[in-house]
Amino acid sequence: MIRRASRGSWAVWLVGAAVYVLAVFHRTSFGVAALPAAERFGVGAAALGVFTVLQVGVYAAMQIPTGVLVDRFGPRRVLTAALLLLGLGQVLLAVAHSYPLGLLARGVLGLGDALSFVSVLRLAANHFPGRQYTSVTAFTSALGFAGNLAATVPLALLLAGPGWTPTFLVAGVVTMLFVVAVQLRVRDTPTRRTTESRPVPPREVTRQVAAAWRVPGTRLGFWTHFSTMFGPTVLVLLWGVPFLVEGQGYPATTASGLLVVFVAGSIVGNPLVGAFIGRRPALRMPLVIGYLAGAAGVWAVLLSWPGRIPLAVLVPAFGYLSLGGPASVIGFALARDYNPLPRVGTATGVVNVGGFVATTVTALTVGVLLEATGGDFRVALLSVVVVLLFGSWRMAVWYRRTRAAVLAAQARGEDVPVRLRRRRWDVPVPYRESVAPAA
């Protein structure tokens, strides 16, 4: 068990987090490139939505396989593959003029993006003690939003200046060159540069995924991530700028600037949430519940506002919604707490699927509703509220079941990651699953 992270471990994490910064940049670059892409490829709202749906769908579909790959081959090898795929995808997008080639490029980007975050979290799990894991995860998410920031106003200015091809071509080449830094600095563990891989039969992989999914804490993490991160992600990845420009009548530069609010909120919120739940882990789910209740209220205000929504309302509304990213980190803390270390990569991948499944479904639904209603963003964005309510319901179900498992373990005298007090609304039927902390 790691008792204290060394300076070398912090250096390894920093290089891994830089890979995640690049991945977030590539993931969110379509947020300000959506309108130029519609003109370049000659497509409408529904076809434009397919770009994000494909990319995020590939990302979501690859999360569990990524967890298995990281557990087997180690984060160093997987991060190297991530950089090569991200760079290749952006180069393809730079030269693409046809809609099918553009889709292929975003699919390759989604594959590279899928390999990044889980790998960095596994590095953190390998190099840092459990008490620091939540804070390091939060810092990783916060640093990742530097890539999001670069994909707002700076990217919009580059697209308006040098143009589509030079901008995305340079981004792709720089990403592939960063492989050198990973090869020189990243170590899978404090004592080993690479993980010793072994052949794993498909049946064993299935058992490993099933074992992670059976843990109530993993499912609670899945639905926590599902409910908290998809709303702001849908706006940042695709529909934020079109909503503000076409739905609200703001200039494109103002719309791109408003997306910075999401970045600033996440950069500030991630370390605060990470530090808070690191000190008070028993309050992490009440924090999620409070955020979701507030998010429902924010969406109600935005979708019912008569006429154009003023900036004085949009800025604090977007600032509050941006806290969904920091809140989603709690899902990864649950995966780390309730799974043994050799299975943390797989469990983290399972949790990470949640938010991106919600994002994929919502992004596609918004595009379809826009086509069906002739561009009515208020109706289209109601799908966000529906998915938010559904995810909150499922999260509440698994919150009660996870509490039941923890309370039953406490009654048996087992050590648990977070000790709980029984409430009147707790599930009365005891659970038999072990909830011992990860080794």
Say what the pTM is: 0.75
Q: How many domains does the chain have?
A: 1
Q: Which two tokens stand for residue 328?
A: 């989603």
Residue 145 covered by a domain: yes
Residue 418 covered by a domain: no
Residue 243 covered by a domain: yes
Task: Using the predicted structure, report yes or no on whether residue 301 has a pLDDT greater than 90.
Answer: yes
Residue 426 covered by a domain: no
Taking residues 162-166, report their average pLDDT. 86
Residue type, 56: V
pLDDT digits (tens, 9 = 90+) for 184-216: 888 877 777 766 656 666 677 788 788 888 889
Confidence label for 164 from pLDDT (cuts 50, 70 and 90):
confident
Residue 277 covered by a domain: yes
Taking residues 374-390, report their average pLDDT. 93
CATH number of the domain that residue 230 is part of: 1.20.1250.20
Average per-residue pLDDT for the chain: 84
Residue 417 covered by a domain: no
Residue 321 covered by a domain: yes
Rounded CA separation 335/331 (Å) = 7
Range of the domain at 17: 7-187+203-411
Neighbours of 210 (CB within 10 A): 10
Residue 366 covered by a domain: yes
1 versus 269: the higher-pLDDT residue is 269
Rounded CA separation 168/163 (Å) = 9
SS (H, E, C) the chain: CCCCCCHHHHHHHHHHHHHHHHHHHHHHCHHHHHHHHHHHHCCCHHHHHHHHHHHHHHHHHHHHHHHHHHHHHCHHHHHHHHHHHHHHHHHHHHHCCCHHHHHHHHHHHHHHHHCCHHHHHHHHHHHCCHHHHHHHHHHHHHHHHHHHHHCCHHHHHHHHCCCHHHHHHHHHHHHHHCHHHHHHHCCCCCCCCCCCCCCCCHHHHHHHHHHHHHCHHHHHHHHHHHHHHHHHHHHHHHHHHHHHHHHCCCCHHHHHHHHHHHHHHHHHHHHHHHHHHHHCHHHHHHHHHHHHHHHHHHHHHHHHCCCCCCHHHHHHHHHHHCCHHHHHHHHHHHHHHHCCHHHHHHHHHHHHHHHHHHHHHHHHHHHHHHHHHCCCHHHHCHHHHHHHHHHHHHHHHHHHHHHHHHHHHHHCCCCCCCCCCCCCCCCCCCCCCCCCCCC
pLDDT digits (tens, 9 = 90+) for 339-369: 887 787 788 888 988 988 898 889 889 988 9
Question: What per-residue confidence (pLDDT) applies to 356?
Answer: 83
